């Protein structure tokens, strides 16, 4: 039983005003990453020792390129959510904490977009 | 901050050490390691996009013993985080909280991560 009124519960998104959004996104990306990771490892094992042509051919296949983009999006979203929690737990200086979170989010976007552009240029340009 | 000098709630050193704690800490460590390891994924993809000359550097790295060692660690960290992540998803669904189940699932995670790492590397070397 809850002592909060229905209105308070509806409004109550906690001190960060995002409710369970972070938690839920972490779980959704985790569920997506289970099959995507297994697919990626199996695919990578086929081409990793086989040189440039094999890698380029594998990535340029439409279904592989599409799944790679999904994998990259899910992986970087999941990673930056997780790193944010680690920073929030261990960095107690407010300025450093905010700076750390900003760096993590920017780095995830920069690296994620670099990876996606690489996949698309291999797939469309090759 | 007014809370600065207040005592913290009971922290790590208060609790009796048990090895399921190690799994929890390693889950976090592997998560951070895998995040750093995404640099390798991006490097690989960007190098393929850039062409054979750039890709030669990636190939040099993965054929060097140190590169292999890093990749081996990366493989294990991935399978560990994956297996223990599934264990976490069961907890999120409200299952597997009994003490005996928690210890049993810890063993499953450790053994599965080692077995999958072994399988992946045997397959990578073309042995199976």
Closest CA to A22 of A75, A78, A106: A78
Q: What residues of B are in contact with residue A75 (Cβ under 8 Å)? A: 38, 41
Is residue A94, in this structure, part of any structural domain at all?
yes
ipTM: 0.89
Q: How many structural domains compose chain A?
A: 1
Say what the pLDDT of residue A3 is.
Answer: 74
What is the pTM (predicted TM-score) of this model?
0.89
Expressed as residue numbers, the domain containing A86 is 20-125
Which domains, from first to last, does chain B contain?
Answer: 18-124 (1.20.1300.10)
CATH number of the domain to which A75 belongs: 1.20.1300.10
Measured between CB atoms, does B44 come within 8 Å of chain A?
Answer: yes
Is residue A68, in this structure, part of any structural domain at all?
yes
A15 pLDDT higher than 70: no
Please identify every stretch of chain B with a pLDDT value under 50, giving residue numbers as ranges: none
Q: What residues of A are in contact with residue B55 (Cβ under 8 Å)? A: 52, 55
Q: Which of residues 10-29 of B touch A (CB under 8 A)?
A: 28
Query: How many residues make up chain A in this entry?
Result: 126
Burial class (CB in 10 A: 0-12, 13-18, 19+), A49: middle
The Cα angle at residue B46 between residues B45 and B50, in degrees rounded to 5: 120
Burial pattern B37-60, b for ≥16 Cβ within 10 A else e, equals: bbebbbbbbbbbbeeeeebeebbe
Instruction: Express each pLDDT in A90-112 by its tens digit.
Output: 999 999 999 999 999 999 999 99
CA distances B92 to A24, A38, B96, Å, are: 10, 22, 10
């Amino acid at each position: 039983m809850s002592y909060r009124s229905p209105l308070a519960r509806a409004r109550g998104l906690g001190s960060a005003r995002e409710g369970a959004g972070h938690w839920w996104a972490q779980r959704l990306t985790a569920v997506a990453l289970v099959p995507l990771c297994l697919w990626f490892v199996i695919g990578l094992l086929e081409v990793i020792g086989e040189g440039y042509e094999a890698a380029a051919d594998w990535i340029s296949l439409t279904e592989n390129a599409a799944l790679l983009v999904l994998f990259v999006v899910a992986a970087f979203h999941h990673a930056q959510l997780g790193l944010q929690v680690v920073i929030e737990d261990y960095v107690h200086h407010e300025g450093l904490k905010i700076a750390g979170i900003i760096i993590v989010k920017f780095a995830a976007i920069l690296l994620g977009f670099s990876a996606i552009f690489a996949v698309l240029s291999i797939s469309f340009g090759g | 901050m007014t809370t600065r000098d207040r005592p913290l709630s009971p922290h790590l050193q208060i609790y009796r050490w048990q090895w399921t704690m190690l799994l929890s800490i390693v889950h976090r460590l592997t998560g951070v390691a895998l995040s750093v390891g995404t640099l390798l994924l991006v490097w690989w993809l960007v190098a393929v996009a850039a062409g054979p000359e750039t890709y030669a550097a990636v190939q040099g790295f993965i054929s060097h013993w140190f590169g292999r060692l890093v990749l081996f660690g990366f493989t294990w960290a991935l399978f560990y985080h994956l297996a223990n992540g599934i264990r976490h998803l069961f907890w999120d669904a409200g299952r597997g909280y009994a003490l005996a189940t928690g210890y049993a699932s810890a063993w499953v995670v450790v053994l599965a991560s080692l077995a999958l790492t072994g399988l992946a590397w045997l397959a990578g070397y073309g042995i199976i």
